[in-house]
Amino acid sequence: MKLKKYKTAVAFMALGLTGMVSNVSAMDAGVDLSIPKDLAMGIKHQSYDYASIEDGAEKMAMDYTQVKVPLGKFDVMDQILVPSISLERTAFRFQNTAASDQTLYTLKSQFMFIQKQDEKWTRILQVTPSFHSDTDAMDEDAFSLMGLAIWRFQSTDDSAWTMGFGANHLFGEYKPIPLLSYQYQASERLQFDVGFPITKAEYRWQSNWTGFASFAPAGGNWRVDTQNNDKINVAYSSWLASTGVRYQFKPKMWASLALTQSVGRKFNLDDSDSSQEVDVDNSGAIMFSVGFHP
């Protein structure tokens, strides 16, 4: 699949959105038109086309699938606890190279604590034990404890600031990451989130349809057992520029479809003696998801 095909598809999607926005129905009056939050329960899949490694003949493609399930909602003292579990499958496929295909897994058990401190301030703490491996490498390096601390300040009725820090594999290597974003509700139908590491905008042109665009990082780190019984760390990082649509088929249940361009891609192999990082060319991808968005 070539990049120009993605550009053509995006152009048709934009034309479709323009036509739909101009025909917003009066029937939506009085209907909930708030922007859906992130996927809380469901399945998400991304499929990436082959791209050259270091501008050479070697090529790499990738498929990513996530299944996420919340385990309830509990009152714990003056906080709300929302535990969840997710399983991620990442498959790397290679062409014109001696490297063998790899299927890698990440199992996360997340514990999120939400505390509303007053009318303007909310604190969110996340603790996430994680197992990330090809399932053959089971040493201590296949486990990590990720964390996130966020403070949200509701500055006005239409805007809020979110700030904090975390430690995870979002950029491949396990590292601390700062978070800062500004959310602005431009209208009942339109919301902007501008910041780091995620920037996005979403517009709900009808009660059951939204259009969105986003720019966000994507990556991971896994422990792998090689054919020589040596254990190495495999890391991948990239940025994703996406545009797509969502359809609400039941209350809070959404199906999403997006066209994505993956840029700034890096693939790293690290053993006890050496580390090798290579650049991977930009690649188009298709993303779809189905599930519950609060």
Query: For residue 30, is it within any domain?
Result: no
Residue 5 predicted with pLDDT over 50: no
DSSP 10: H
How far is C-alpha 130 from the chain's CA centre?
Answer: 16
Greatest alpha-carbon pair distance for the chain in Å reads 66
Report for 75-79, 98-102, 220-224, 226-230: range of highest mean pLDDT: 220-224
- Strand segments, DSSP code E, in 16-78 are 41-52, 59-70, 74-76
Q: What is the pLDDT of residues 130-177, one digit of tens each?
A: 999 999 998 899 999 999 999 999 999 999 999 999 999 999 888 999
- What's the pLDDT score for residue 200? 98
- What's the pLDDT score for residue 245? 98
Query: In whole numbers, what is the pLDDT of the chain averaged over residues?
Result: 89
Cβ–Cβ < 8 Å for 154, 160? yes
Query: For residue 35, is it within any domain?
Result: no
Position with higher pLDDT, 1 vs 104: 104
Query: For residue 228, is it within any domain?
Result: yes
Q: How many domains does the chain have?
A: 1
Tell me the whole-structure pTM to 2 decimals: 0.86
Cβ–Cβ < 8 Å for 83, 109? yes
Query: For residue 145, is it within any domain?
Result: yes
d(CA 265, CA 59): 13
Q: What is the pLDDT of residues 182-208, one digit of tens each?
A: 999 999 999 999 999 999 999 999 999
Q: In the block, which residue shows the tokens 């979002």?
A: 170
Q: What is the pLDDT of residues 17-38, one digit of tens each?
A: 444 444 444 445 557 789 999 9
d(CA 119, CA 247): 33
Residue 287 predicted with pLDDT over 90: yes
* 203 beta partners: 190, 211
- What's the pLDDT score for residue 270? 84
Q: What is the pLDDT of residues 92-130, one digit of tens each?
A: 999 998 778 999 999 999 999 999 999 999 999 999 999
* 202 beta partners: 191, 212
d(CA 210, CA 247): 7
Query: For residue 29, is it within any domain?
Result: no
Residue 288 predicted with pLDDT over 90: yes
Query: For residue 242, is it within any domain?
Result: yes
3-state secondary structure of 57: coil
Average pLDDT over residues 232-257: 97
Range of the domain at 177: 3-24+40-292
**Using CB atoms within 10 A of its CB, is residue 45 exposed (0-12), middle (13-18) or buried (19+)?**
middle
Query: For residue 8, is it within any domain?
Result: yes
- What's the pLDDT score for residue 29? 53
Query: For residue 261, is it within any domain?
Result: yes
Residue 9 predicted with pLDDT over 50: no
Q: What pLDDT band is residue 3 in, cutting at 50, 70 and 90? A: very low
